[in-house]
Amino acid sequence: MQTLTVKPYAQPPERPATLADVAREAGVSVATVSRVLNSKLAVPITPETEQRIRDAAERLMYRPNAIARALATRRTYTAALFTQEMTDPHFAQMLGPVEDELRKRGYRLAVCTDAEGLLSEGRVDGAILLADPTNEAQGFGRLPIPTVFVWSARVPLPNCVTWDDVAGAALAVGHLAAHGHRAIVGLFGDYPDDGTTPDKVAGYRAAISAVPGSAGPIEWRGQLSSDQFENGFLLTRQALEAGREWTAIFARNDFLALGALRALRHAGIKVPDEVSIVGYNDTVIARIADPAMSSVLTPIAEAGALAAASLVDAIERRSHAVSGITLPVRLTERKSCAAPAHRG
């Protein structure tokens, strides 16, 4: 017979613990506790002492008084995460890592789609911007607080955590070419002149032109539906009706790739036996597709966590300068690619 041992529920103290309580419990001064818990270790403190203070704070369930801390430091201890579109897959992938990193550093998160409106009221100490840092029309460069951008860029940019979508698209094309494909479609859908699509197009064109014996760029564009999944389906069906001389598809995102996969299935074309597909962003869509799709992984989650850490560092230094960081992209291989079938 098994016995289940349940730990007793930790009752909250009758009054909130203070810095003085933690200092008494850990056997150190209040100043030392404050430096450790606020990550301001100007004076060297041994790892043993730091851990003893953190253990004491946990035992006493110490929580900083946000109002008192804000009054003392003239900060809100809140950071904004700005996105133009709440439905942006990048935003969904960033949100958790950003919030986790800020929480570890003692900051709260405010999500907004109106950056200047929120920031001008002085309610945040800094901002993470899921936006193009080179687009001066947005006015982000004039914000009076530390900012860190998260965006695709071919070269490192100051105050920005970046990755290279030109390299990512080339990675996808190179993967298909390594399987023997020479007629590789670029499925770009409604091709905006801004955003990250131009870099993916440039990477696709350069990579396909470098493949020996390639058919050159074959690009599918247009908006047959405002829904990207449906647009991928309709563009692929339209291309199939015109006759198929291609053997592989590179899609600029996983929504378009999934739409293409559905259109191929409706036409009785097997993936990857007859057509191979590579998507982009490596979202949950690529993982749950049937077959599971290979996709280029952009390091959005890692970029979000790094942006949050860099932002807090800048706020604590009272500086607007943040070093640029470039993260690598990589390809996640699954079941959607194979050598092209020979057709008689």
Tell me which residues of the chain have a pLDDT lower than 70: 1-15, 38-43, 64-74, 115-122, 136-142, 191-194, 319-321, 343-344
Same domain (yes/no): 155, 182: no
Provide the pLDDT for residue 236.
96
Same domain (yes/no): 128, 145: yes
Q: How many residues does the chain have?
A: 344
For residue 323, what are the domain limits?
Answer: 76-163+300-328
Please give the model's pTM, rounded to 2 decimal places: 0.75
Same domain (yes/no): 290, 263: yes
**Partners of 128 in beta bridges:** 81, 148
Provide the pLDDT for residue 152.
87
* 127/8 Cα distance (integer angstroms): 41
Provide the pLDDT for residue 120.
57
Residue 179 lies in a domain: yes
Q: Is 237 left (phi over 0), alpha (psi -120 to 50) or beta?
A: alpha
Residue 140 lies in a domain: yes
* Exposure string for 212-224, b = 16+ CB within 10 A, e = fewer: eebeeebebeeee
Provide the pLDDT for residue 132.
85
Residue 5 lies in a domain: no
Give, in order, the Cα–Cα distances in Å from 286 to each of 223, 266, 291, 294, 337.
Answer: 22, 19, 9, 7, 13
- Please give, one letter per residue, the 3-state secondary structure of 131-162: CCCCCHHHCHHHCCCCEEEEEECCCCCCCEEE
Q: Which of 175, 167, 78, 164 is closest to 127 using CA atoms?
A: 78
Provide the pLDDT for residue 273.
96
Q: What SS3 class is residue 219? A: strand
Same domain (yes/no): 184, 268: yes
Provide the pLDDT for residue 106.
86
Query: How many structural domains is the chain composed of?
Result: 3
Provide the total of helices (H) and of strands (E) in the chain, helices listed first: 12, 12
Same domain (yes/no): 123, 134: yes
Same domain (yes/no): 56, 42: yes
Instruction: Check if the beta carbon of residue 281 is closer than 8 Å to that of residue 89.
Output: yes
Provide the pLDDT for residue 71.
45
Please state, rounded to an integer, the average pLDDT across all residues of the chain. Answer: 85
Same domain (yes/no): 172, 293: yes
What one-character-per-residue DSSP string does 169-185 give? HHHHHHHHHHTT--SEE
